[in-house]
Structure 1
Amino acid sequence: MEEELPTEISVLTLNCWGLKYISKLRRERLDEIGRQLAIADPQPHIVALQECFTQDDYRSIRRQTRFILPYGKFYHSAAFGGGLAILSRWPIEESTMFRYSLNGRPTAFWRGDWYVGKGVASAKIRYGPGPKHIVEVFNTHTHSPYEHGPKDSYVCHRTAQAWEMSKLLRGAAERGHLVLALGDFNMVPLSLQHRVITAHAPVRDSWRVLHPDSSLGPADLPAEKARRRPIPTAEFNLRENGAASDGPYNTWRWPKAQQKLLGPGKSELTVAPDTIDIRGKRLDYIFASTGDVSALGGGWVVRRINVGMTMRHPELGCSLSDHFAVEATLVFQPVPSSSSSPSPSSLSSGAGAVDPPHSEKETAAGGGDDIDTNNVAALHNGTYLQSPTASSFRGSSSGGASKTSLDGRDNAHIHTHTQQQQQLLALSKQPPPLLPSSSYDEMLAQIHFYVRRERSQRTWRGRHFFAWLAVTIGCLVAVWFSPHNYVSFILMLVSSLGLTAGTIDGLLSLLFFRSELQALKEYEWEIRNAKAAAAAGGGEPPVPVLEDGDDLDDREW
Structure 2
Amino acid sequence: MKPNFSLRLRVFNLNCWGIPYLSKHRADRVKRLGDFLNRESFDLALLEEVWSEQDFQYLRQKLLPTYPAAHYFRSGIIGSGLCVFSKHPIQEFTQHVFTLNGYPYMIHHGDWFCGKAVGLLVLRLGGLVLNAYVTHLHAEYNRQKDIYLAHRVAQAWELAQFIHHTSKKADVVLLCGDLNLHPKDLGCRLLKEWTGLQDAYLETRDFKGPEEGCTMVPQNCYVNRQELEQFPLGIRIDYVLYKAVSGLYISCKTLRTTTGHEPHSGSPLSDHEALMATLCVRHSPPQHNPSPTHGPAERSPLISVLREAWTELDQGMAQGRWWATIAGYVIGLGLLLLALLCALAARGEIREVAVLLWTPSVGLVLAAGAFYLFHVQEAKGLCRARAELQHVLGRAREAQDLGPESQPAGLLGQQEGDRAEEQ
If the TM-score is normalised by the length of the shorter chain, which range does it land in? Answer: 0.7 to 0.9
**Residues of 2 paired with 1:127 and 1:533: CA distance?**
35
1:312, distance to aligned residue in structure 2 (A)? 4.9
| CA distances 1:95-148 after superposition (whole Å, capped 9, x unpaired) | 1120112221222222111111111111112224x4xx2211111111111221
Instruction: Output the amino acid matched with 1:252.
Output: Y
**Residues of 1 paired with 2:221 and 2:132: CA distance?**
30
Instruction: Output the amino acid matched with 1:177.
Output: D
Give the 3-state SS of the residue equivalent to 2:74 in structure 1: coil
Residues 45/436 of structure 1: CA separation in 2 closer, same or farther (3 Å cut) = closer
Aligned residue number for residue 319 of structure 1: 268
Determine if contact 2:194/2:302 at 8 Å carries over to the other structure.
no
Residues 254/167 of structure 1: CA separation in 2 closer, same or farther (3 Å cut) = closer
Q: 1:140 aligns with which of 135, 139, 154?
A: 135
1:454, distance to aligned residue in structure 2 (A)? 0.7
Residues 50/35 of structure 1: CA separation in 2 closer, same or farther (3 Å cut) = same
1:211, distance to aligned residue in structure 2 (A)? 6.0
**Residues of 2 paired with 1:438 and 1:467: CA distance?**
44
Residues 27/495 of structure 1: CA separation in 2 closer, same or farther (3 Å cut) = farther
Aligned residue number for residue 286 of structure 1: 240
Matches within 5 A, 1:440-519: 440-479=306-345, 488=352, 491-509=354-372, 511-519=373-381
1:73, distance to aligned residue in structure 2 (A)? 0.7
1:300, distance to aligned residue in structure 2 (A)? 2.8
Determine if contact 2:299/2:400 at 8 Å carries over to the other structure.
no
Residues 465/306 of structure 1: CA separation in 2 closer, same or farther (3 Å cut) = same
Matches within 5 A, 1:313-392: 318-335=267-284, 371=285, 373=287, 376-377=288-289, 379-381=290-292
**Residues of 1 paired with 2:325 and 2:22: CA distance?**
35
Confirm or deny that 1:303 pairs with 2:253.
yes
1:21, distance to aligned residue in structure 2 (A)? 2.8
**Residues of 2 paired with 1:314 and 1:472: CA distance?**
66
1:198, distance to aligned residue in structure 2 (A)? 1.6
Confirm or deny that 1:174 pairs with 2:168.
yes
Determine if contact 1:180/1:289 at 8 Å carries over to the other structure.
yes
Determine if contact 1:196/1:435 at 8 Å carries over to the other structure.
no
Residues 98/434 of structure 1: CA separation in 2 closer, same or farther (3 Å cut) = farther
1:476, distance to aligned residue in structure 2 (A)? 3.9
| CA distances 1:192-240 after superposition (whole Å, capped 9, x unpaired) | 222212211132111111269x9xxxxxxxxxxxxxxxxxxxxx9x345
Give the 3-state SS of the residue equivalent to 1:251 in structure 2: coil
Confirm or deny that 1:188 pairs with 2:165.
no
Aligned residue number for residue 118 of structure 2: 120
**Residues of 1 paired with 2:93 and 2:259: CA distance?**
27
Instruction: Output the amino acid matched with 1:141.
Output: H
Aligned residue number for residue 205 of structure 1: 199
Aligned residue number for residue 392 of structure 2: 530
Confirm or deny that 1:252 pairs with 2:222.
yes
**Residues of 2 paired with 1:203 and 1:254: CA distance?**
31
Which deviates further from its counterpart, 78-87 or 99-108? 99-108
1:24, distance to aligned residue in structure 2 (A)? 2.2
**Residues of 1 paired with 2:231 and 2:374: CA distance?**
41
1:172, distance to aligned residue in structure 2 (A)? 4.0
**Residues of 2 paired with 1:38 and 1:182: CA distance?**
20
Residues 59/291 of structure 1: CA separation in 2 closer, same or farther (3 Å cut) = farther
Q: What is the RMSD computed on CA atoms of the aligned residues?
A: 3.1
Give the 3-state SS of the residue equivalent to 1:253 in structure 2: coil
Q: 2:108 aligns with which of 110, 113, 122?
A: 110
Which deviates further from its counterpart, 163-172 or 319-328? 163-172
1:477, distance to aligned residue in structure 2 (A)? 4.0
Determine if contact 1:465/1:499 at 8 Å carries over to the other structure.
no
1:472, distance to aligned residue in structure 2 (A)? 2.9
**Residues of 2 paired with 1:179 and 1:309: CA distance?**
27
Determine if contact 2:116/2:137 at 8 Å carries over to the other structure.
yes
Instruction: Output the amino acid matched with 1:166.
Output: A
Determine if contact 1:173/1:202 at 8 Å carries over to the other structure.
no
1:286, distance to aligned residue in structure 2 (A)? 0.6
Residues 116/185 of structure 1: CA separation in 2 closer, same or farther (3 Å cut) = same
| CA distances 1:317-375 after superposition (whole Å, capped 9, x unpaired) | 7522110111111113234xxxxxxxxxxxxxxxxxxxxxxxxxxxxxxxxxxx561xx
Give the 3-state SS of the residue equivalent to 2:122 in structure 1: strand
**Residues of 2 paired with 1:442 and 1:380: CA distance?**
25
**Residues of 2 paired with 1:314 and 1:198: CA distance?**
34
**Residues of 2 paired with 1:472 and 1:28: CA distance?**
55
Determine if contact 2:210/2:259 at 8 Å carries over to the other structure.
no
Instruction: Output the amino acid matched with 1:109.
Output: I
Give the 3-state SS of the residue equivalent to 2:54 in structure 1: helix
Q: Which has the larger radius of gyration?
A: 1
Determine if contact 2:44/2:85 at 8 Å carries over to the other structure.
yes
What is the total number of aligned residue pairs between the two structures? 395
**Residues of 1 paired with 2:189 and 2:174: CA distance?**
16
Q: 2:212 aligns with which of 229, 233, 241?
A: 241
Determine if contact 2:316/2:379 at 8 Å carries over to the other structure.
no
1:44, distance to aligned residue in structure 2 (A)? 1.1
Give the 3-state SS of the residue equivalent to 1:189 in structure 2: coil
**Residues of 1 paired with 2:80 and 2:138: CA distance?**
11
1:291, distance to aligned residue in structure 2 (A)? 4.0
Aligned residue number for residue 548 of structure 1: none
1:255, distance to aligned residue in structure 2 (A)? 6.2
Percent identity between matched residues is 24
Determine if contact 1:11/1:44 at 8 Å carries over to the other structure.
yes
Residues 176/320 of structure 1: CA separation in 2 closer, same or farther (3 Å cut) = closer
| CA distances 1:260-288 after superposition (whole Å, capped 9, x unpaired) | xxxxxxxxxxxxxxxx9715011000110
Q: Give the strand-richer structure, 1 or 2.
A: 2
**Residues of 1 paired with 2:300 and 2:355: CA distance?**
61
Higher relative contact order (CA 8 A, sep 6+): 2
Instruction: Output the amino acid matched with 2:305.
Output: S
Aligned residue number for residue 75 of structure 2: 77
Aligned residue number for residue 30 of structure 1: 30
Aligned residue number for residue 9 of structure 1: 9
Determine if contact 1:31/1:57 at 8 Å carries over to the other structure.
no
**Residues of 1 paired with 2:38 and 2:299: CA distance?**
39
Consecutive unaligned residues of structure 2, counting only runs of 5 or more, are 404-423
**Residues of 2 paired with 1:110 and 1:503: CA distance?**
22
Residues 483/313 of structure 1: CA separation in 2 closer, same or farther (3 Å cut) = farther
Residues 309/62 of structure 1: CA separation in 2 closer, same or farther (3 Å cut) = farther
Instruction: Output the amino acid matched with 2:26.
Output: R
**Residues of 2 paired with 1:114 and 1:89: CA distance?**
33
Aligned residue number for residue 100 of structure 1: 98
Instruction: Output the amino acid matched with 1:99.
Output: V
